[in-house]
């Protein structure tokens, strides 16, 4: 013990620095009913016990002195039963006196998704990692470089990124940008007392789509010749506002994007003792944009997971959380979905319709209800 203390003191005297490593995460266990979003089970549900909220992150931070700091963060998910352990966000960031530079692979869910109350939980409703079963855009896995800084009281960020996957069954282990979808983004958030206003603009482009369905039967073709079509100048605009009234927190957001229908969300969270009650409402219009070519169809699907012909849809969620402590809570949530008929949210269809070509989905996915009771521990 004494030798260890002497060694540490000697190292400290040399001025050497060490990274501080921490572990954090959460683990939740639920009893739930979740919609089954596959063509062979449209309208059916999966019921029973499940772990759907397991995440662990390891963060290493090193103080470089003079206001500089380096941070590496990586994690993985635990979903229980038949799901294996999967990797999660992995980033390296550099904090400077001028701002923060962040690089890495992220699961990006968008600024209007962040305006939900946080009280309603559900495997389809809130995770939304791999499909567009809810009205809002799916979360996307992106490789990105972002620089954010303070301008007066506002936080401003600028980003460049590439999509790892989406429109085809390409393996995400293929390095580089297999789908050719890239973006530039500029965002800002400005607090005014209890009110916070924010928004962002994103410009998308696509150089190639490796494989594209070419017929209603799902026949595919290699991306050569005409399929190497550049798609540029596609824009997305998002704006949001949130207000803390003390007795309740209100939030709302709206999105306008080329190749996709408008989307919106509104929420309220009300604290009462150890309870927090929440209500979320979200929706989107009918998908009517007709792709000009195969590359544009693939790009639109990669960005939104939606198809030409997807009907307008909405979801209403109610939830209550009881905090047993600062790190342990029990949550109960109920979500109901509405749609307008055939082709609604991944109705049974062909691979071609998924890419916006000859959309022929005929059966509503019938995401009518979802509920869960969950015990969650964070650490």
* Whether the Cβ atoms of residue 187 and residue 198 lie closer than 8 Å to each other: yes
* Whether the Cβ atoms of residue 376 and residue 324 lie closer than 8 Å to each other: no
Between the two ends of the chain, the Cα-to-Cα distance in Å is: 30
Burial class (CB in 10 A: 0-12, 13-18, 19+), 224: exposed
Pairing of strands 263-272, 275-284: antiparallel
Residues whose CB falls within 8 Å of the CB of residue 349, separated by 6 or more in sequence, listed in order: 39, 307, 343, 359, 360, 361, 362
Q: What is the pLDDT of residue 52?
A: 79
Listed residue (158, 93, 159, 172) closest to 129, CA to CA: 172
Residues whose CB falls within 8 Å of the CB of residue 291, separated by 6 or more in sequence, listed in order: 259, 297, 300, 308, 355, 356, 357
CATH, residue 347: 2.40.160
> Residue 322 belongs to what domain range?
97-372
Instruction: Say if 230 falls within a structural domain.
Output: yes
Cα gap 60→64, rounded to integer Å: 13
- In the three-class reduction of DSSP (H, G, I as helix; E, B as strand; rest coil), residue 57 is classed as strand
Listed residue (322, 262, 313) closest to 124, CA to CA: 313
Q: What is the pLDDT of residue 368?
A: 65
* Whether the Cβ atoms of residue 58 and residue 74 lie closer than 8 Å to each other: yes
Cα gap 299→374, rounded to integer Å: 36
Q: What is the pLDDT of residue 346?
A: 41
Return the DSSP state at 166: S
Q: What is the pLDDT of residue 206?
A: 73
Instruction: Say if 271 falls within a structural domain.
Output: yes
pLDDT tens, residue by residue, 4-37: 444 434 444 444 456 799 999 999 999 988 766 5
Cα gap 346→350, rounded to integer Å: 10
**pTM (2 d.p.):** 0.80
Instruction: Say if 83 falls within a structural domain.
Output: no
Instruction: Say if 45 falls within a structural domain.
Output: no
Instruction: Say if 354 falls within a structural domain.
Output: yes
CA dihedral defined by 40, 215, 232, 179, rounded to 10 degrees?
60
Listed residue (92, 220, 199) closest to 154, CA to CA: 199
* Whether the Cβ atoms of residue 242 and residue 251 lie closer than 8 Å to each other: yes
Listed residue (132, 127, 138) closest to 163, CA to CA: 138
All residue ranges of the chain with pLDDT < 70 are 1-18, 35-44, 81-85, 123-134, 165-179, 207-232, 291, 293-311, 339-368
Listed residue (291, 306, 292, 297) closest to 361, CA to CA: 306
Instruction: Say if 322 falls within a structural domain.
Output: yes
pLDDT tens, residue by residue, 31-60: 988 766 554 445 567 788 888 788 899 999
Strand partners, 253: 240, 265
pLDDT tens, residue by residue, 136-152: 877 777 899 999 999 99
Number of domains in the chain: 1
Cα gap 177→161, rounded to integer Å: 10
Instruction: Say if 217 falls within a structural domain.
Output: yes
- In the three-class reduction of DSSP (H, G, I as helix; E, B as strand; rest coil), residue 237 is classed as strand
Instruction: Say if 336 falls within a structural domain.
Output: yes
Around 219, how many Cα atoms within 13 Å sit in the side-chain half-sphere? 4
Q: What is the pLDDT of residue 369?
A: 79
């Amino acid at each position: 013990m004494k030798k260890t203390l002497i060694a540490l003191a000697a190292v400290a005297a040399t001025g050497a620095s060490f990274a501080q490593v921490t572990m954090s995460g959460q683990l939740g266990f639920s009893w739930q009913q979740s919609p089954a979003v596959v063509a062979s089970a449209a309208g059916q549900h999966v019921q029973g016990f499940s772990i759907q909220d397991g995440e662990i992150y390891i963060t290493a931070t090193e103080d470089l002195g003079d206001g500089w700091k380096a941070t590496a963060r990586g994690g993985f998910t635990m979903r229980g039963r038949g799901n294996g352990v999967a990797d999660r966000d992995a980033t390296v960031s550099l904090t400077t006196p001028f701002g923060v530079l962040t690089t890495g692979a992220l699961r990006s869910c968008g600024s209007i998704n962040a305006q939900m109350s946080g009280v309603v939980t559900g495997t389809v409703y809130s995770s939304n990692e791999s499909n567009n079963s809810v009205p809002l855009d799916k979360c996307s896995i992106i490789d990105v470089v972002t620089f954010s800084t303070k301008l007066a009281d506002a936080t401003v960020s600028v980003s460049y990124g590439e999509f790892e996957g989406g429109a085809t069954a390409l393996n995400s282990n293929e390095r580089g940008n297999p789908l050719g979808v890239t973006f530039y983004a500029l965002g800002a958030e400005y607090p005014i007392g209890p009110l916070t206003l924010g928004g962002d603009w994103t410009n998308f482009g696509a150089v190639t789509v490796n494989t594209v369905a070419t017929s209603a039967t799902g026949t595919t073709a290699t991306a050569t010749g005409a399929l190497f079509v550049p798609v540029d100048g596609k824009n997305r605009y998002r704006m949001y506002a949130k207000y803390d009234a003390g007795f309740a927190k209100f939030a709302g957001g709206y999105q306008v994007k080329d190749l996709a229908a408008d989307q919106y969300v509104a929420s309220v969270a009300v604290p009462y003792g150890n309870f927090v009650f929440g209500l979320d409402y979200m929706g989107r219009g009918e998908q009517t944009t007709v792709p000009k070519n195969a590359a544009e169809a693939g790009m639109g699907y990669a960005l939104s997971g939606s198809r030409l012909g997807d009907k307008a849809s909405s979801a209403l969620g109610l939830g209550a959380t009881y905090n047993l402590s600062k790190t342990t809570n029990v949550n109960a949530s109920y979500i109901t979905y509405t749609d307008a008929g055939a082709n609604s949210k991944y109705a049974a269809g062909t691979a071609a319709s998924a890419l916006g070509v000859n959309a022929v989905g005929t059966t509503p996915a019938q995401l009518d209800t979802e509920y869960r009771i969950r015990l969650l521990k964070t650490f």
